[in-house]
Structure 1
Amino acid sequence: MELNFKQIIKSTLSDTIIKQIFEMISQGDIVPGQKLPSERDLAEALSVSRPSIREAMRSLRTLGLIDIRIGDGTYLKDDIEKLSDFRIKNLLKKYSILELTEARKLLEVEIATLAAERATEEHKDLIKESFYNTLRHKHDPEAFLKADFEYHMAIAEAAHNKYLAEMLYTTRDLIIDGYQEVVKIPGQDDIIKKCHFYIMNAVISGNKEEARRVMQYHLEDMISAIHKIYNNTN
């Protein structure tokens, strides 16, 4: 069966890809158990890059909606009830950014500790590269937050625990959308960058205790900044 995809405007790639796939599911164009087109075919049909397709597939896999079978392809899960898991993302968007940051603290303090213990030289180079990339976006909150997230993901990958990395990845859109006001607080971006610098040094030097301490301080400082916003708006 030939699938009729619409071409995508390149401003909201990953979310738009996911949305279109779900529209096709709801219309019966894609059914549980069906094999999806290849990454290359999807990219061509949607007029987007293959990395954008990978990002969308990663989100769908995290939500438990697809099976990626090495050497075979990507399939929509057989269990139709699993489709209700897509509600997870919508429910998460209702959570306050404060609750998200509290959850991040529980998750990322452990990630930083493991990264300091397990990071390879390749991962250390990636962490440094992503750190310096954050410094290029001082006056663009959205670009800064995207770079900020890539920095945190680089540390998560260095922890060598795929479940922790996937858990953090599911918060990507929430962080980029929800932290816009936080980074606009005067001086907050400088505090974030200083924390990033010390976390990076701790991970690279293999200092687990320092990596844990600074990551905890970093996210507790973010919680304090969020409280300031709430106090000013309530």
Structure 2
Amino acid sequence: MKDRKKRVAGLKPLPQQGRSEQVIKALAKFITRQKMVPGDRLPPERDLAEALGVARTSVREAVSQLAALGILEPRIGSGTFLLRKITSDTVYMPLSLDTDGLEDLLLKALEVRRGIEVEASIAAAKRRTEEDIERMEAALIHMESLFKPEGGSGPADLAFHLSIYDAAHNPLFRQLLEQFRDLFERFWTRPYGRPDFASNSFPYHRTLFEAIRDQDPHRAEQETRKLLNSVEDDIRMMKP
């Protein structure tokens, strides 16, 4: 009995309404809090149901939904295993799609990036605060200090883009990013084995920052499009 309680420590009974969604969110928080990684096994279904105060069918339904999204994998006789990470701030449901290869994957993801990041940049130019500009500039300077034409600046580049999302002051931008994070991060992980991937877009980061700093939404939109168009050129040029 003690072992069962230990396995689900931190989970509390849930209210009656919207059980399936609540179970999913509770599992997301539990996975994050326990620092679970892909390959880890979740506690048994009965233990989860008991800790959450719900029927096992509610847990089974939540697990089924997460399995359909490629986050969990129930294995007969072995238990339920984590396949992909999930955040606690937002139910992170990594998206996947069938593609004809890396080029197709990146181009489709870029279409989505373009739609989200253009709007985020416009919103940031309209709503940014002085504190946002300080954080954004610090992220930009750090990125610039690490940049090398033959090697890009990886995570620092991503951090700069995240600072723009935050400056938009619309939490949905960040939540959307979390939904697409697995796909988006492919742009910062040396696709095609090319460390110089997207290095041609580097100058546009500063001009984009300046547009947001100057509260110029039209210029922010233009610079974002230039940046992402440069990335698209690299995708098409660097494919094997």
Maintained 8 Å contact 1:131/1:196: yes
Maintained 8 Å contact 2:152/2:197: no
**Larger Rg belongs to:** 2
- The structure-2 alpha-carbon separation of the partners of 1:4 and 1:217, relative to structure 1 and needing over 3 Å to count, comes to same
Which one of 9, 12, 19 corresponds to residue 38 of structure 2? 19
- CA drift of 1:93 comes to 8.7
Q: Provide the rounded CA distance (Å) in 1 between the counterparts of 2:173 and 2:115.
A: 11
Corresponding residue number in structure 2 for 1:2: 6
What is the one-letter code of the residue matched to 1:3? R
* 1:112-170 Cα distance to aligned partner (Å, 9 max, x none): 00000001111111110111111232359888221111111110011111111211234
Maintained 8 Å contact 1:141/1:183: no
* 1:167-187 Cα distance to aligned partner (Å, 9 max, x none): 123434433344413794758
Which one of 169, 172, 177 corresponds to residue 163 of structure 1? 172
| Identity of matched residues, % | 17
* 1:27-77 Cα distance to aligned partner (Å, 9 max, x none): 548626856xxxxxxxxxxxxxxxxxxxxxxxxxxxxxxxxxxxxxxxx99
Gaps of at least 5 residues in structure 2 are 10-31, 53-58, 71-92
Q: Provide the rounded CA distance (Å) in 2 between the counterparts of 1:147 and 1:187.
A: 15
The worse-fitting range, judged by mean Cα deviation, of 88-97 and 151-160 is 88-97
Q: TM-score, normalised by structure 2?
A: 0.62
Flag the structure with higher helix content: 1
Maintained 8 Å contact 1:153/1:169: no
- CA drift of 1:194 comes to 0.8
Q: Provide the rounded CA distance (Å) in 2 between the counterparts of 1:33 and 1:213.
A: 54
Corresponding residue number in structure 2 for 1:223: 232
Which one of 84, 91, 99 corresponds to residue 96 of structure 2? 91
- The structure-2 alpha-carbon separation of the partners of 1:186 and 1:89, relative to structure 1 and needing over 3 Å to count, comes to closer
Gaps of at least 5 residues in structure 1 are 6-12, 36-75
The structure 1 segments of at least 4 consecutive aligned residues displaced by more than 6 Å after TM superposition are 140-143
- CA drift of 1:219 comes to 0.6
Corresponding residue number in structure 2 for 1:201: 210
How many pairs align?
180
